[in-house]
Structure 1
């Protein structure tokens, strides 16, 4: 599997991975929370969609499970899926929601380099065309 990443919701900057040698690779990125709780800080993004111990697509699947049932025609039992124990199944659900229904999601991903950014003030984070790696001053592997 290749690198992939997202852009920040507030400044549309690439979330650089640690292999990119980009200035943002060493910055803390925050997964903003819609419920007013503290944003989740993430250091050292490795480029494969897991921020800290949270799989980004599984997070989308879990937090938008009601919409997944409706939009994807999933059975009611998916409500019982656990973010950490059922990551693989939730990843698949979240990926379908992100790719096909991003602008309809009640709780999309919103990343920021600013820990004080408010989730409610911004549009969703989007796929990063540079994949968090091809950012101009990246090192060659």
Structure 2
């Protein structure tokens, strides 16, 4: 019985999200990241269809292009381009390793063993977005 309990505990622990305790390699970040789903209420409030795809292309030369990124004040979707960087947890609002683009921080996390980018669009309204890497570069 105790072996079965230990095995079940290992499965549960293996499926948990991992804290990102060290700086990820650039090779883990380069490529196209797409948003799983922008918050439906956010899209409705700005009059955008639910089919909008938000994406970020991180390039090896430190440049990025981004389409339909959620921004606040006022709430909107915008396209961006410029330089990106990995930011140390001591320098971010969340206290986590992050990717910074255009002054916005996308938290880095591991979910199910995969690296994801998390965007807090509006903390008070609970608007969050999660990006998965679709292609590497």
Per the TM superposition, whether the score is higher than 0.5 is: no
TM-score, normalised via structure 1 length: 0.27
User: Rg bigger for which structure?
Assistant: 2
Higher strand share: 2
Question: Which structure features the higher share of helix residues?
Answer: 1
* Relative contact order higher in (CA < 8 Å, ≥ 6 apart): 1
TM-score by length of 2: 0.27
